[in-house]
Amino acid sequence: MLSQLSQLRDRLPRPTLSPNVQGWLICFAVLIVTVIRSGITYSFGVFVVKLTNDYHRSLAEQNWVGTLSFCVSLSFSPVSVALIRVVGPHGFRIVGLLGVIILTVSCIASSLVTSLEWMFLTHSLLYGIGSSFIYMASSLIIGDYFDKDHPQHVLATSILLCGYPVGSLVFNPINAWLVNSYGWRVAFRAASGMIFIAGVCCVATFAPRKTPAYFDLDNEEKTKDLSLRSCFGSCVVLKQRPEILLWLFGNTLSYLGFYMPFLNLPYYMKLKGIKAIDSSWALTVLSLGECISYVVASLVGVFFRGKLVFSNILASLALAVICIVWPFVDASYAEIMVISSAMGVFLGLTIVYAYAASGEVTGLSLDVAWALTNMWSGFGILLGPFFSGLIYDLRHSYDDVFYVNGGIFAVDLFVFGAIAALQKYRQYKGQFEYEEIDGDAMTSSTSDYERTFRSVKKSMSKPQVVDEASIEYYAHED
């Protein structure tokens, strides 16, 4: 009886989803796991307030615990991409599941530590590596279903990054309540359970749509493809496309200032006599502004394909102004809330198109461009405490922290502006060369080789016309 039922089951047609529908379901799963995963990362400032009371360490040292976690998550991206490639077509699911397990162990271990030094292992290192595995598996599976030529590429890749502000928006008040009511150890244990349950369910959907080309390489070619030289390109490529280095340097500067409010804003508001629960609401408002920015930018991003770097230019300008004028206008809690929401809007604008823009600006393959972008962004986060907690410990004033961050975003404005200028120049140069060839504008000094090349290129650009007599002649010969 059982064998007959089994044979009947095998004969029944199995429902299959179209790649487009399955792609959007995976986008939803990626959004959920990103929200859960970023809950600790973006609300770590709430934990810092309690860790200060327990361990009595400097703000800079405590900032390093949260900062290094985010730094490792991004800087480890090339290793995560390499591991996904080596595992094979199911690397998205396997590496993602490994990341979920590491995050679960990390949160449980962090809840058991008895000194701050152990948190550099349990949280900074383990949580960072686990986040990197999930992050890059999520990124590449979306890139598999929505490649650079897909009409919804910008929207799909933006959804991946929308999980961060949503996670901050949801988990800042939740973690603040858990930390104040039950302690930071219980908050870590609660996070471990949510990460494991949601993570396993979401990562299980990471089935590849197709076998990417790099999975079909033999071992020698795969090793060469994963080499550092292939990631960065030759010196000739970097010379021809200086936008690559400018883009990486610009993202490094962006992340120098990006993470500052999430780490230091709660402690800053505590010094102003504002309660911890109220400071968490300031982070919530900041994340709400960031979330709104992500959603709106995701929906309209398709209209800005080819010009996504201009969002970085606008955001850098606005953030430079906000950081510089902040010390002059934060006279009350209400004003801090308004400034926080404005900062959130433009912080979101610096990140929302980063995935799509990395391939657009650098011209590299999408997985390599995104891995390098994250790695250099991690360097920015690594240096972040020097411009926030350390400055405060030395100067005992948050005004200098805001001024330095404003200066960083001002430099960023010029870096991204240079990228836009180079793109415009290259577009103009390409158009000029085309018009020159099309118009056959050659002088007496033009070499015979160049004349021949231009003539051939010009003839190839014109449609070939075959007359009816020729067709009849060749038909008769056959």
The CATH number covering residue 154 comes to 1.20.1250.20
In a domain, 34, yes or no: yes
Confidence class for position 197, pLDDT limits 50, 70, 90:
very high
CB 403 within 8 A of CB 411: no
CA atoms within 13 A of residue 337's CA, in its CB half-sphere: 11
Which helix (H) or strand (E) segment holds residue 151: the answer is none
User: 57, exposed or middle or buried, with CB in 10 Å at 0-12, 13-18, 19+?
Assistant: middle
Whether pLDDT at 434 is above 80: no
Whether pLDDT at 54 is above 50: yes
In a domain, 329, yes or no: yes
C-alpha distances in angstroms, 91 versus 95, 128, 206, 227, 358? 6, 19, 9, 19, 22
Which residue has tokens 């949601």? 198
Whether pLDDT at 218 is above 50: no
| 122-150 confidence digits (pLDDT tens) | 988 999 999 999 999 999 999 888 887 88
**Nearest C-alpha neighbor of 165 from the set 360, 351, 410, 316:** 351
Give the model's pLDDT for residue 21. 83
In a domain, 441, yes or no: no
Which helix (H) or strand (E) segment holds residue 241: the answer is none
Whether pLDDT at 13 is above 80: no
In a domain, 4, yes or no: no
Number of C-beta neighbours around residue 61 at 10 A: 17
Number of C-beta neighbours around residue 273 at 10 A: 7
Long-range contacts of 145-151 (CB under 8 A, 24+ apart): 145/19, 145/22, 145/23, 145/26, 145/27, 145/209, 146/23, 147/366, 148/356, 148/359, 148/360, 148/366, 151/302
Mean pLDDT (whole number) for 95-117 = 91
Mean pLDDT (whole number) for 422-431 = 77
In a domain, 476, yes or no: no
Structural domain of 158: 18-222+233-431
What is the spatial distance between Cα 30 and Cα 24, in angstroms, rounded to a whole number? 10
Weakest-pLDDT range from 59-73, 305-319, 406-420 = 59-73
CB 225 within 8 A of CB 214: yes
What is the spatial distance between Cα 465 and Cα 449, in angstroms, rounded to a whole number? 26
One-letter amino acid identity for 362?
A: T
In a domain, 452, yes or no: no
Give the model's pLDDT for residue 130. 94
What is the spatial distance between Cα 109 and Cα 317, in angstroms, rounded to a whole number? 41
Confidence class for position 235, pLDDT limits 50, 70, 90:
low
Whether pLDDT at 437 is above 50: no
Give the model's pLDDT for residue 221. 45
Confidence class for position 411, pLDDT limits 50, 70, 90:
very high
CB 265 within 8 A of CB 282: yes
In a domain, 6, yes or no: no
Mean pLDDT score across all residues of the chain: 77
Per-residue DSSP letters for 265-277? Answer: HHHHHHHTT--HH
Per-residue DSSP letters for 166-208? Answer: HHHHHHHHHHHHHHHHH-HHHHHHHHHHHHHHHHHHHHTT---
Percent above pLDDT 90 for the chain: 21
User: 463, exposed or middle or buried, with CB in 10 Å at 0-12, 13-18, 19+?
Assistant: exposed
Confidence class for position 317, pLDDT limits 50, 70, 90:
very high
What is the spatial distance between Cα 159 and Cα 356, in angstroms, rounded to a whole number? 11
Query: Among positive and negative, which fits the CA dihedral 328, 333, 337, 338?
Result: negative
Query: Residues 6 or more apart from 325 whose CB is under 8 A from it?
Result: none
Number of domains in the chain: 1
Which 3 state secondary structure label does DSSP give 217?
Answer: coil
Query: Among positive and negative, which fits the CA dihedral 276, 278, 282, 287?
Result: positive
Give the model's pLDDT for residue 160. 78
CA atoms within 13 A of residue 448's CA, in its CB half-sphere: 0
In a domain, 457, yes or no: no
pTM recorded for the entire structure? 0.72
What is the spatial distance between Cα 298 and Cα 171, in angstroms, rounded to a whole number? 22
| 320-344 confidence digits (pLDDT tens) | 999 888 888 766 778 888 888 888 8
What is the spatial distance between Cα 349 and Cα 355, in angstroms, rounded to a whole number? 12
273 — phi, psi (to 5°)? 85, 20
What is the spatial distance between Cα 431 and Cα 190, in angstroms, rounded to a whole number? 58
